[in-house]
Amino acid sequence: MTEKQRIKQLEKEAKAEAKRLKEIERTEAMMVYERRFRDREYICGIDEVGRGPLAGPVVACAVILPKDELILYLNDSKKLSEKKREMLCEVIMEKAVSVGIGMASPARIDEINILQATYEAMREAIGSLTVRPDILLNDAVTIPEVPIAQVPIIGGDGKSVSIAAASIVAKVTRDRMMVEYAKEYPGYAFEKNKGYGTKAHIEGLKTYGPCEIHRRSFIGHFVDV
């Protein structure tokens, strides 16, 4: 390696280290609530995905992260690329103390409304954890019928690493489900829109009518139900 190449390599390494340190600083800034409640053994972040789509379930996730390890790049799942979400989901599943998933079907959403179905999915996610949380950090909501202390945080998936982790796992879980549903119910482009009301989805809905996973209470503006 020439002197010029060596200098270039050192500059590259210095830039990478500066970037890593900046990410550590950003991640630590998202641990305000985790530090506030550090006396609690199990701090659980909760978030959901899928309240707005015309089709598919609403999926909730509860995540208890380890206190002794910093997982970098956690953020609101909507701000991350699909590749980054997939990578982080694997890391979270590997390193988390516990992860719980809950969901409510389209039929259940139609039966009790999307808000109550979301609460139900969140309670299921909490119930499927392998340890009982000491405190819940929720993205914006207070979940009824849960006898555990709760802290609702508006925009929590961008302010708490625990909630961010839950948002990522919930998003990846639901997206994978919708890709599989696309094979079973072609014509709606579920693999691309994940059930949201895109032009292609609405065109498919008008052409083929609703399928088994459409939320009847959501699609009345587009087709007769």
| Cβ contact 155:34 at 8 Å | no
Q: Which CATH architecture has domain 31-174?
A: 2-Layer Sandwich (3.30)
CA distances from 69 to 51, 97, 101 (A): 32, 11, 22
Model pTM greater than 0.85? yes
Place of tokens 């459409």: 214
Q: DSSP letter string over 164-177?
A: HHHHHHHHHHHHHH
Q: What is the pLDDT along the chain (225 residues), one digit of tens a residue?
A: 787 777 777 667 768 777 889 999 999 999 999 999 999 999 999 999 999 999 999 999 999 999 999 999 999 999 999 999 999 999 999 999 999 999 999 999 999 999 999 999 999 999 999 999 999 999 999 999 999 999 999 999 999 999 999 999 999 999 999 999 999 999 999 999 999 999 999 999 999 999 999 999 999 999 988
Domains of the chain: which residue ranges?
31-174
